[in-house]
Amino acid sequence: MKRVFLLGYPITYSLSPAMHNAAFQAMGLDWRYALLSVTAGDLAGAVARLRWADCAGANVTTPHKEAIIAFLDDLGDMARKTGAVNTVLKRDGKLIGENTDVAGFMQALQDAGISPHDARIVLFGAGGAARAVSFGLAEAGVSGIVILNRSPVRARQLAAMLQGHFPRLSLAINTSDALKDADIIVNATPVGMWPNVAESPMPPGSVCRRGAIAIDLVYYPGETRFLREAARCGAQTLGGLSMLVYQGALAFALWTGYAPPVQVMFQAARRALGEEGGG
């Protein structure tokens, strides 16, 4: 049996095992996907576990998408550009960090009929997920990105990464009144994730404009407080489930070499989330 793990903390409520194990079964693969709860102090040991012969790779989530780079042998192109890893695979005995979040996020936008070209973006967060989202949006030709983050240092690091790749991109940090003019607002933080469902990244009293698009990378619960607040302002909303599936499908292809059964993965993720239907 080949094993694949999810490294992160906390990860109790992840849908990834249900999604990937359904895909492995559908493809007739004797593979198993399991959670590996890893604190920052345990990361080196967890990466050492990935080097065992029975392991084919891993996914990486909060808070390790940047820190794990120091323990890997090499990086793929997108992981190197963004400075964030969400997928690890083995190649010739080496652990290679890849980033499928960028393409997964952009596919989710495309499926929802959202074009970010020339859009004014407000982005909550400056971690690994925010790096992927902002890079994909910048590549798509947004007019500017305002980064809202509790740590100005982290926000400046993200802005510097983006400026290095997109020197003409308009960037700002912690401009609180940007929300009212934003075309697209993205929550790339874990704020609002189960069990902390009463939380929202939106500052108290803030509003977004009618017709804006609010996107939450959190997928559990399916409708977060952030999305409800945005909907009350008249915004279109998109949850994080489709990005989860698409980034996972790309990781599946990297690990196995097979085309992923995307519809099976959607159905399994929705069942695990308690939603009905497939697609």
DSSP 41: G
Give the per-residue pLDDT at 276: 40
- Which residues carry out catalysis? 65
The closest alpha carbon to 112, from 212, 238, 234, belongs to 238
Helix residue spans in the chain (DSSP H): 16-26, 43-50, 77-82, 101-111, 128-139, 152-165, 225-232, 241-256, 262-273
Question: Mean per-residue pLDDT for 90-116?
Answer: 97
Nearest to 46 by CA among 56, 29, 58: 58
Partners of 98 in the beta sheet? Answer: 87
Sorted by where each begins, the domain ranges of the chain are 2-99+243-273, 103-239
Ranges of beta strands (E only) in 64-207 are 74-75, 87-91, 94-98, 120-124, 144-148, 170-173, 184-187
Helix (H) or strand (E) run with residue 36 in it: strand 31-37
At 278 the pLDDT is 32
Please determine, looking at this structure, whether the domain spanning 103-239 carries the CATH number 2.30.110.10: no
pLDDT 10s digits, 64-81? 999 999 999 999 999 999
How many helices (H) and strands (E) in the chain? 9, 12
pLDDT tens column, 9-37: 999 889 999 999 999 999 999 999 999 99
Q: Tokens at residue 15, please?
A: 């849908």
CATH 3.40.50.10860 fits 2-99+243-273, yes or no: yes
For residue 176, what pLDDT band results from cuts at 50, 70 and 90? confident
Domains 2-99+243-273 and 103-239 share a fold: yes
| Mean of the per-residue pLDDT values of the chain | 96
pTM for the model stands at: 0.95
Count of CB atoms situated within 10 Å of the CB of 209: 15
Instruction: Report d(CA 137, CA 115) in Å as an integer.
Output: 10
Query: What's residue 275's pLDDT?
Result: 64
Distance CA 182, CA 211 (A): 10
Give which of 106, 104, 115, 105 is closest to 236, Cα–Cα: 115
Kindly indicate the confidence band of residue 205, based on its pLDDT and cuts at 50, 70 and 90: confident
93: exposed, middle or buried (Cβ count in 10 Å: 0-12, 13-18, 19+) = exposed
Is residue 131 within 8 Å of residue 161, measured between CB atoms?
A: yes
Nearest to 210 by CA among 192, 190, 240, 231: 231
- pLDDT above 90 for 277: no
Q: What is the pLDDT of residues 214-265, one digit of tens each?
A: 999 999 999 999 999 999 999 999 999 999 999 999 999 999 999 999 999 9
